Amino acid sequence: MKRTISSALVSILAAAQAVAQSSPGYTDTPMLPDGKWRVHDATRPHPPIVEPGPASGPAPAPKDAILLFDGSGLTEWRSNDNEAKWAVADGCMTVNGTGDIRTTREFGDCQLHIEWASPAKVEGESQGRGNSGVFFFERYEVQILDSFENVTYADGQAGSLYGQNPPLVNACRKPGEWQTYDIVFRAPRFGPEGGLQQPARVTLFHNGVLAHLDRPMWGATAHRSLPAYKAHAPKGPIKLQDHGNPVRFRNVWIRELELSGTPAVPSATPVAVEAKKTMDQTIAELMAKPEVADDSITVQHVLISFQGAPRMTNVTRSKDEAKELTERVWAKALTASDFKGLMAAYSNDTGPGEYPMTKATRSQMVKAFGDVGFRLKVGEMGVAPWDASASPFGWHIIKRIK
Ligand code: MG
pLDDT reading at 222 higher than 50: yes
Distance (angstroms) between ligand 1 centre and the Cα of 273 equals 24
Distance (angstroms) between ligand 1 centre and the Cα of 127 equals 8
| Same domain as 351, residue 203 | no
Distance (angstroms) between ligand 1 centre and the Cα of 128 equals 10
Distance (angstroms) between ligand 1 centre and the Cα of 132 equals 4
Residue 70 has what pLDDT? 97
Measured from the Cβ of residue 246, the count of other Cβ atoms closer than 10 Å reads: 19
Distance (angstroms) between ligand 1 centre and the Cα of 283 equals 39
Residue 351 has what pLDDT? 86
Portion of the chain with pLDDT greater than 90, in percent: 75
Q: What's the pLDDT tens digit per position in 243-285?
A: 999 999 999 999 999 998 877 665 445 555 544 456 787 888 8
Q: CB of 171 within 8 A of CB of 180?
A: no
Structurally, the chain folds into a number of domains equal to: 2
Contacts of residue 74, defined as CB under 8 A and 6 or more positions apart, other chains included, come to: 83, 84, 85, 86, 88, 93, 101
Distance (angstroms) between ligand 1 centre and the Cα of 157 equals 9
98 domain residue, yes or no: yes
Q: CB of 238 within 8 A of CB of 84?
A: no
Distance (angstroms) between ligand 1 centre and the Cα of 240 equals 9
For 118, counting Cβ atoms within 10 Å of its Cβ (0-12 exposed, 13-18 middle, 19+ buried), the class is buried
Distance (angstroms) between ligand 1 centre and the Cα of 265 equals 26
Q: What's the pLDDT tens digit per position in 87-138?
A: 999 999 999 999 999 999 999 999 999 999 999 999 999 999 999 999 999 9
DSSP label at 264? P
Portion of the chain with pLDDT greater than 70, in percent: 90
Boundary (domain end) residue, out of 232, 256, 280: 256
Q: What distance in Å separates the CA atoms of residue 269 and residue 208, rounded to the nearest whole number? A: 26
pLDDT reading at 392 higher than 70: yes
Residue 7 has what pLDDT? 52
Q: HEC profile for 55-123?
A: CCCCCCCCCCCEEEECCCCCCCEEECCEECCCEEECCEEECCCCCCEEECCCECCEEEEEEEECCCCCC
Residue 306 has what pLDDT? 95
Q: Provide φ and ψ at 289, rounded to 5°.
A: -80, 155
Q: Tell me the three state secondary structure of residue 391.
A: strand
Residue 22 has what pLDDT? 52
pLDDT reading at 80 higher than 60: yes
Distance (angstroms) between ligand 1 centre and the Cα of 204 equals 16
Q: HEC profile for 315-351?
A: CCCCHHHHHHHHHHHHHHHHHCCCHHHHHHHHCCCCC
Instruction: Give the CA diameter of the chain.
Output: 82
Residue 348 maps to which CATH number?
Answer: 3.10.50.40
Lowest mean pLDDT among 14-23, 31-40, 229-238, 377-386: 14-23
Q: What distance in Å separates the CA atoms of residue 11 and residue 15, rounded to the nearest whole number? A: 6
Boundary (domain end) residue, out of 208, 234, 256: 256
pLDDT reading at 21 higher than 60: no
Q: What's the pLDDT tens digit per position in 138-151?
A: 999 999 999 999 99
Contacts 24+ apart (CB under 8 A), 323-328: 323/385, 323/386, 323/395, 324/228, 326/279, 326/383, 326/385, 326/394, 326/395, 326/397, 327/272, 327/273, 327/275, 327/276, 327/279, 328/33, 328/226, 328/228, 328/272, 328/275
- When pLDDT is cut at 50, 70 and 90, the band that residue 23 belongs to is confident
Distance (angstroms) between ligand 1 centre and the Cα of 144 equals 6
| Same domain as 173, residue 303 | no
| Same domain as 294, residue 210 | no
9 domain residue, yes or no: no
Q: What distance in Å separates the CA atoms of residue 370 and residue 367, rounded to the nearest whole number? A: 6
| Same domain as 29, residue 67 | yes
Q: What's the pLDDT tens digit per position in 311-344?
A: 888 899 999 889 989 988 888 887 767 899 899 9
Distance (angstroms) between ligand 1 centre and the Cα of 242 equals 8
| Same domain as 229, residue 188 | yes
Q: What distance in Å separates the CA atoms of residue 200 and residue 217, rounded to the nearest whole number? A: 5
Q: What's the pLDDT tens digit per position in 188-207?
A: 999 888 888 899 999 999 99
14 domain residue, yes or no: no
Distance (angstroms) between ligand 1 centre and the Cα of 162 equals 7
Of 202, 171, 141, 151, which Cα lies nearest the Cα of 46? 151
Cα dihedral angle (331, 332, 336, 342), rounded to 10 degrees? -130
In 174-289, DSSP assigns E strands to 179-186, 189-190, 196-198, 201-206, 209-216, 238-240, 248-256
3 domain residue, yes or no: no
379 domain residue, yes or no: yes
Residue 328 has what pLDDT? 85
Distance (angstroms) between ligand 1 centre and the Cα of 145 equals 7
Q: What distance in Å separates the CA atoms of residue 304 and residue 291, rounded to the nearest whole number? A: 24
- When pLDDT is cut at 50, 70 and 90, the band that residue 19 belongs to is very low
262 domain residue, yes or no: no
Q: What distance in Å separates the CA atoms of residue 100 and residue 97, rounded to the nearest whole number? A: 8
Range of the domain at 30: 21-256
Distance (angstroms) between ligand 1 centre and the Cα of 221 equals 10
